[in-house]
Structure 1
Amino acid sequence: MPFELPSFPPAQQAQIIRSNQRDFIHLSALREQLDGVLRTWLGTRRLTRWDREVELATKLLYYGMTVGRATQTLGEEYTDIWSHSSRTGQLPSLRTRAALILLPTLPSYVMARWGSSFSSTSTIGSLLRKLPDCLEVLSEVNLAVFYFRGTYYDLVKRVLRLRYVSSLPANPNTRPPSYSLLGILLATRLIYRLWNLCRTLSHTEAKDHNSLRGKDPAGHAEEAYIDDKPVSTMLSRVDSDEAPEILAENDERTVLDFAQISSQLRANRNCTLCLEERTATTATECGHLFCWDCIVGWGREKPECPLCRQSLSLTSLLPIYNL
């Protein structure tokens, strides 16, 4: 009787989904612990400014200690699945593992950090602003295909041709669950987005046609102003760690007479983000007060109130001059 090498069955969809969910949970826990440590060293304001770097370091640390060492992630270990190359049938090479770590993390960090530095009118700037939306659509298409076929859950793994095998033997008496319904729902969403994009393009062409004929296009979005200052220019301000701090007495966006305010009352004017006396006091929709630069910098990273976690919209911030 000839000897046959043992073969491993391909991983099931449920195993791959649970593996990614567990990795997400462990990444979130590692991020919270790292935030707690860095907050005691840097403070909340500086930690907010370095939020992208902390997220990048968390992912590089987690996947570098697992994928980089050619071992299972905690999610893959939980579901007993292994990644292997569909081209060679072996474990991913060092170059493939490096690409698997850097491709999902480094480009998104570069675009988030320096994408706004390019002018929106330039070709590179417009492409960089459209690239995240294109990648999001491609990821959703890939996920819809996964729900139908169960092969590649991640877009990067599809590009690198990395598949999963399971160390658990397949049970012929059980039928694996089907996720085709999720694929249908996701495909419906993609069709709606495509229809909405076509409608937007047709509307834009109509506005351009009307503008060429000397007519004001209907539905033109008017710029919002606060004290004769466009809101877009206020939101596009770039915070800098090297910018000089403005004292409350020198704040041009307040009408308070600090000489008549007691030190106890001034102590209650501290911003909960920078832990310093507020400048350019700004109120959120939920009624909490922060410095303008602090809450705008926070809102760019997390669209939620730092205190009550209510949803936060930068265009709904209200500057207050007498608080």
Structure 2
Amino acid sequence: MPSQARRSFPSATQAQLIRANQRDLMGVAQLRDMSDSVLRPSLGTRWLLRWEKEVDLVSRLVYYGLTTGLASQTLGEEYVDIWQRLTRSRRPPSAASRWALIALYTLPHYAASHLAARTQDQHPYEHATDARSRIRTALLALARRLPTALDVLSELNLALFYFSGIYYTLAKRILGIRHITSMPQDPHSRPPSYALLGALLAVRLAHRLITALRASSKAQSTGLSARAQEKQRETDADVLLLDGRRVTDLLDIVEAQEHDAEDDAYTMLDLRAVPDTTRSARRCVLCLEERTASCATECGHLFCWTCIVGWGREKAECPLCRQSLDLTRLQPIANL
């Protein structure tokens, strides 16, 4: 009697993979919102602003650790009825592969953004002759470009997905993890094509490449070093702080430490002698605490320095009146 052929499940469709990813993003966002609601009453809004990236990282680790890490479906995979399988063996991923997938989901962008931020104020010596300075210059340039490089690689992978229909994320392409489904394919219906989206992404990547090449060529033709360009930007901004300190200097000082309003070194007021009714009016609308290192926007509203800088990096508008916000034009206020 001939042996019966082993049944194989079809590969997941592009539509299923897209819907699963969208549902997973919603799940992470909901977990992040719940984390904020738990942490804000006990630790305060200012703490959340400072550790925003870390809270987001932990939320992603918890979400994928409790699903993919435990060999279970994520909410998105369960929603569209798909399972992970290794491309070569067609077997479920091992524990090492699953945790490697979680690490690639969460750690690279977090580490790259922090590394770029730490090296932002360090200026390479382009004309140094010794080998150590040249290596340091190359490492600084690489660290600053890491977030952009990761974004470009993710977009390139997404463009390939729209053309080929497999490996929605770069992490799964690296590890060779695909998806199968138990839903039978309808031979009488044609699945939707996402090739147009892939073509649009390819055009966008080409535009980014051309723009980067033109910027690099322009920088070389002018002969300005990275240090000279940074000095020129600081001169153009021409924003000084208390005691002649620049905005960037105050940013580094204030972000490096947290303190109470009464210990604020950037105010001329003796807050211990100020009535409580007056001090209650000094509350920052972003952190809901008494202002420290007070500063004013161009529209005249007052905030904590760290609060408005953190807000402005994400959204370039005043949180109260929605007027355009330029962080280089913040004015330190020492007597309000």
TM-score interval, normalised by the smaller of the two chains: 0.7 to 0.9
Counterpart for residue 304 of structure 2: 291
Query: Aligned partners of 1:180 and 1:29: how far apart in 2?
Result: 31
Q: How does 1:59-138 map to 2 (within 5 A)?
A: 59-118=60-119, 119-121=122-124, 122=136, 123-138=138-153
CA distance in 1, matches of 2:203, 2:94: 37
Name 2:246's counterpart in structure 1: 230
2:216 paired residue number: 201
Cα deviation, 1:90-145, whole Å, max 9, x if unaligned, reads 00111110110012212322333454334342333322111111111111111111
Contact 2:109 2:150 (8 Å CA) reproduced: no
Q: Secondary structure at the match of 1:176?
A: coil
Question: What is the CA distance between 1:198 and its match in structure 2?
Answer: 1.1
Alignment of 1:2-81 (within 5 A): 2-81=3-82
SS at structure 1 position matched to 2:66: helix
Counterparts of 1:2 and 1:244 in 2: how far apart (Å)?
A: 75
* CA deviation string 1:263-321 (max 9, x = no partner): 42332112234444323322346654211133224545x43669559575533434345
TM-score of the superposed pair, with normalisation by structure 2: 0.82
Q: Tell me how far 1:45 sits from its aligned partner.
A: 1.0
Runs of 4+ in 1 over 4 A off after TM superposition: 250-254, 256-262, 297-300, 304-313
SS at 1:194's partner residue?
helix
* Gap change, CA 1:194 and 1:318, over 3 Å in 2: same
Contact 2:254 2:293 in 1 (8 A): no
Secondary structure of 1:103's counterpart equals helix
By how many angstroms is 1:240 displaced?
Answer: 3.4
Which of 253, 256, 272 is the equivalent residue of 1:240? 256
Q: Which of the numbers 161, 165, 175 marks the counterpart of 1:146?
A: 161
Give the unaligned 5+ runs of structure 1.
Answer: none
Rounded to whole Å, the distance in 2 between the matches of 1:202 and 1:16 is 40
Q: Percent identity?
A: 46
Change (3 A) 1:105 1:252: closer
Letter in 2 for 1:143: L
Is 1:315 the counterpart of 2:315? The answer is: no
Q: More deviation in 312-321 or 73-82?
A: 312-321
The answer to whether the 8 Å contact 2:239/2:247 transfers is yes
**Counterpart amino acid of residue 181 in structure 1:** L
Q: 1:278 aligns with which of 266, 276, 291?
A: 291
In structure 2, C-alpha distance between the alignment counterparts of 1:163 and 1:293, rounded to whole Å: 43
Of 101-110 and 144-153, more deviation after overlay is shown by 101-110
Name the structure with the higher helix share.
2
CA contact (8 A) 2:291 2:303 kept: yes
In structure 2, the gaps of 5 or more residues are 125-135
8 Å CA contact 2:295–2:303 kept in 1: the answer is yes
Contact persistence 1:239–1:297 (CA under 8 A): no
* 1:159 correspondence with 2:160: no
Q: CA deviation at 1:251?
A: 4.7
Q: Secondary structure at the match of 1:71?
A: coil
1:40, distance to aligned residue in structure 2 (A): 1.5
Q: How far apart in 1 are the matches of 2:75 and 2:253?
A: 41
| Range with greater deviation from structure 2 (106-115 or 51-60) | 106-115
Instruction: Say whether the 8 Å CA contact 2:162–2:197 is kept in structure 1.
Output: yes
Counterpart in 1 of 2:207? 192
Query: Residues of 2 paired with 1:65 and 1:306: CA distance?
Result: 38
Question: Do the aligned partners of 2:104 and 2:171 also contact (CA within 8 Å) in 1?
Answer: yes
Structure 2 CA distance for aligned equivalents of residues 101 and 258 of structure 1: 48
Counterpart for residue 303 of structure 1: 315
Choose the corresponding residue for 1:268, options 252, 269, 281. 281
Q: Cα gap change, 1:60/1:259 in structure 2, threshold over 3 Å: closer, same or farther?
A: closer
Partner of 1:174: 189
RMSD over aligned Cα atoms: 2.9
Q: Residues 86 and 163 of structure 1 are in contact (CA less than 8 Å); yes or no, is this contact kept in structure 2?
A: yes
What residue identity is the alignment partner of 1:239?
Answer: E
SS of the equivalent of 1:70 reads: coil
Q: Can you list the C-alpha shifts for 1:197-227, whole angstroms capped at 9, x where unaligned?
A: 111011011111x89xxxx99xx64441224
Q: Is the 8 A contact 1:82 1:164 kept in 2?
A: yes
